[in-house]
Amino acid sequence: MKIVVIGGTGLIGSKLVTGLGEHGHEAVAAAPNTGVNTLTGEGLAEVLAGASVVIDVSNSPSFEDAAVLDFFETSTRNLLAAGKAAGVNHHVALSVVGTEGRPDIGYFRAKIAQERLIKDSSIPFSIVHATQFFEFARRIADGATDGDTVRMPPVLFQPIAGDEVAQVVGRTAVGSPLNGPVEIAGPERFRMDEFFRDALTAWGDPREVVTDPHAHYFGAELQERNLVPGDGAILGEIKYADWLASGAGEQRPLRKSK
C-alpha cells in the first residue's frame, strides 16, 4: 500500500516512514525538503499519484495565532483537494488532546479548523488526538521560563513518547477509517508543575520550577483537565523515567515522583 506521510521528515513523520516501510508498505516522506509544499501545492499531485492513504503530521513553522491558523487551513485545503483528485481513500491527521475544549488558545483553534475541514471533506478520515510528546518537554519548559524560574500550573499532564504516537498513527492509517477521533496518551499522569520540577532535576537544569495557577500555556491559563484525555483513550507503555534512562532524552534518569 502506498502511504504518503506529509511532514515525513520530522520527528513523528520519520518514525512513521520507517515503521510503515518495515511492515511492507510503500511509505513516502513528503515535506518541503523533498519537493512537496502543502502551502503552495507544489509537488502534491505527483507524490499522491497512486496513494491509498495520506497521513498529515506536518506542523506550522510559526505558532503565532494568525500564522498557525493560515498554515493549517491552507495546507489542509490543498491536501484534501489533491487527495480527492488522486483517489486517496483514507486521510489521517495527527492533532492534540483537548483542542475542542479550548478554542481560545490560538494553536488549538487552528487545529480545530484543520479537523473541521477534514470532517467536511468527502474523503474517509481518522484523527488521532495525542498528548504532549516527551521529546518536547524541554521546549515547553523553555517557553515557560521567566529569568531563572519556570512557571508551571498544577494541572494534570500525561505526556507520551513519540515512538508510541507514531505506532498508533501507523496502525490507524492501515486500518479502516474511523470517521472520527481517537485519543492517545502516556501511561502516567502527573501534575504539570511536579513533572517539570522532577524533569529539570533529572536534566541537571538549575532553573527553579514555580507553581503558578495563572501560568500560561500557548498564551492562555489552563484548566485542570485541558491536557489529558477522556475515558477510553489508548495509553502507551513507555514511562518517562524509562525513556530518559534509555538515552532517548540524552539526559540522566528522572527521579521518581513523590
- Residue type at 224 in one-letter notation: E
Cell numbers found for residue 115 = 479537523
Task: Find cell 490560538 and name the residue.
Answer: 106
> 83 pLDDT exceeds 50?
yes
Sequence-ordered list of residues with C-beta below 8 angstroms from that of 146, at least 6 positions apart, any chain: none
Q: Is 13 within 8 Å of 57 (Cβ atoms)?
A: yes
What are 230-250's pLDDT values in tens digits? 999 999 999 999 999 998 765
Cell numbers found for residue 154 = 498544577
Question: For position 233, what pLDDT does the model report?
Answer: 97
**3-state SS class at 97:** coil
Nearest CA to 178 out of 256, 234, 140 is that of: 234
Q: Is 16 within 8 Å of 93 (Cβ atoms)?
A: no
Question: For position 38, what pLDDT does the model report?
Answer: 97
Q: What is the DSSP letter of 165?
A: H
Mean predicted confidence (pLDDT) in 151-175: 98
- Distance, CA of 151 to CA of 211 (rounded, Å): 6
What are 119-154's pLDDT values in tens digits? 999 999 999 999 999 999 999 999 999 999 999 999
Lowest mean pLDDT among 18-22, 115-119, 245-249: 245-249
Question: For position 248, what pLDDT does the model report?
Answer: 78
Sequence-ordered list of residues with C-beta below 8 angstroms from that of 117, at least 6 positions apart, any chain: 73, 76, 77, 80
* CATH homologous superfamily, domain 2-133+158-187+229-238: NAD(P)-binding Rossmann-like Domain (3.40.50.720)
For residue 126, the surrounding DSSP H or E stretch is strand 125-130
Question: For position 256, what pLDDT does the model report?
Answer: 33
Band of residue 257 on the pLDDT scale cut at 50, 70, 90: very low
Angle at 10 between CA 57 and CA 68, to 5 degrees: 55
- Distance, CA of 195 to CA of 254 (rounded, Å): 9
> 222 pLDDT exceeds 70?
yes
CA distances from 156 to 120, 143, 144, 222 (A): 32, 18, 16, 10
Nearest CA to 71 out of 131, 113, 32 is that of: 113
Q: Is 190 within 8 Å of 155 (Cβ atoms)?
A: no
> 100 pLDDT exceeds 90?
no
The residues with which 164 forms a beta bridge, in sequence order, are none
- Distance, CA of 64 to CA of 167 (rounded, Å): 29
CA distances from 176 to 49, 90, 93, 164, 180 (A): 21, 8, 14, 20, 11
Count the neighbouring beta carbons within 10 Å of the beta carbon of residue 233.
17
- Distance, CA of 148 to CA of 219 (rounded, Å): 20
